[in-house]
């Protein structure tokens, strides 16, 4: 498995598989090419034998210095549960920390319980919401009416972690 920075040509490869990887949900329109043009330094593609095995699209916030944001992560269904999602997140955490980020945020749809568990395992905590759905805090209408979201936040270790 090879993880490298994303490139513009990766967008078409991601679009070819994204809805299938999301179990048929039509999510492709939420990941326009601009992420692969303008956020290459903090976005990644994973390949095995030249085939796309996973990807991550993320960036540093312009408006909130020190914050980074993961917009999308996807792993080929055939290789899930083997640590690739964690490897992609670790690559992002390292790239974001190297560029001064100390906080990472992400959101997901409440229906995506696999994503909620994955983010918990990656060390994110769930931010308070205004609804609770099956014990999960949900922010109603976060992305517009009908588009509720679960919001995640995680601190990154600073450049000089405390020695215990």
Could you list the residues that contact ligand COA (CB under 6 A)?
Answer: 21-22, 72-75, 80-86, 108, 112, 114-115, 117-118, 121
CA dist 163 to 144, 157, 159, 160, Å?
44, 12, 12, 9
**Measured between alpha carbons, how far is 156 from 103 in angstroms, rounded to an integer?**
6
Structural contact between residues 4 and 44, judged by C-beta atoms closer than 8 angstroms: yes
The residue among 58 and 129 lying less far from ligand COA, judged by its C-beta, is: 58
Q: For residue 13, give the nearest of 70, 47, 58, 52 by alpha carbon.
A: 52
Residue identified by tokens 């994303």 is: 6
The residue among 43 and 115 lying less far from ligand COA, judged by its C-beta, is: 115
CB closest to ligand COA, residue no:
85
In the complex, the smallest distance separating the C-beta of residue 103 from ligand COA, rounded to whole angstroms, is 18
- Tell me the two tokens of residue 33: 């090419």
What single DSSP character describes residue 139?
A: B
Sequence length of the chain is 164
What single DSSP character describes residue 160?
A: S
**Measured between alpha carbons, how far is 79 from 97 in angstroms, rounded to an integer?**
27
The residue among 65 and 120 lying less far from ligand COA, judged by its C-beta, is: 120
In the complex, the smallest distance separating the C-beta of residue 54 from ligand COA, rounded to whole angstroms, is 7
The residue among 82 and 136 lying less far from ligand COA, judged by its C-beta, is: 82
The residue among 21 and 59 lying less far from ligand COA, judged by its C-beta, is: 21
- 3-state class of 122 per DSSP? coil
In the complex, the smallest distance separating the C-beta of residue 141 from ligand COA, rounded to whole angstroms, is 19
In the complex, the smallest distance separating the C-beta of residue 159 from ligand COA, rounded to whole angstroms, is 25
In the complex, the smallest distance separating the C-beta of residue 90 from ligand COA, rounded to whole angstroms, is 9
């Amino acid at each position: 498995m090879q993880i490298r920075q994303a490139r513009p040509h990766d967008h078409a490869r991601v679009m070819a598989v994204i809805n299938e990887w999301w179990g048929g949900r039509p999510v492709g329109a939420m990941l326009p090419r601009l992420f692969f043009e303008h956020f290459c330094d903090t976005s990644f593609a994973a390949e095995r034998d030249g085939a796309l095995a996973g990807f991550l699209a993320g960036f540093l916030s312009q408006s909130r210095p020190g914050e980074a944001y993961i917009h999308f992560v996807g792993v080929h269904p055939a290789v899930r549960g083997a640590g690739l999602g964690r490897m992609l997140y670790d690559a992002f955490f390292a790239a974001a920390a190297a560029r001064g980020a100390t906080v990472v945020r992400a959101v997901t749809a409440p229906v995506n319980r696999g994503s909620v568990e994955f983010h918990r395992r990656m060390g994110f905590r769930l931010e308070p919401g205004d609804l609770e759905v099956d014990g999960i805090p949900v922010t109603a209408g976060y992305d517009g009416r009908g588009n509720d979201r679960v919001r995640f936040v995680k601190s990154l270790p600073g450049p000089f972690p405390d020695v215990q």
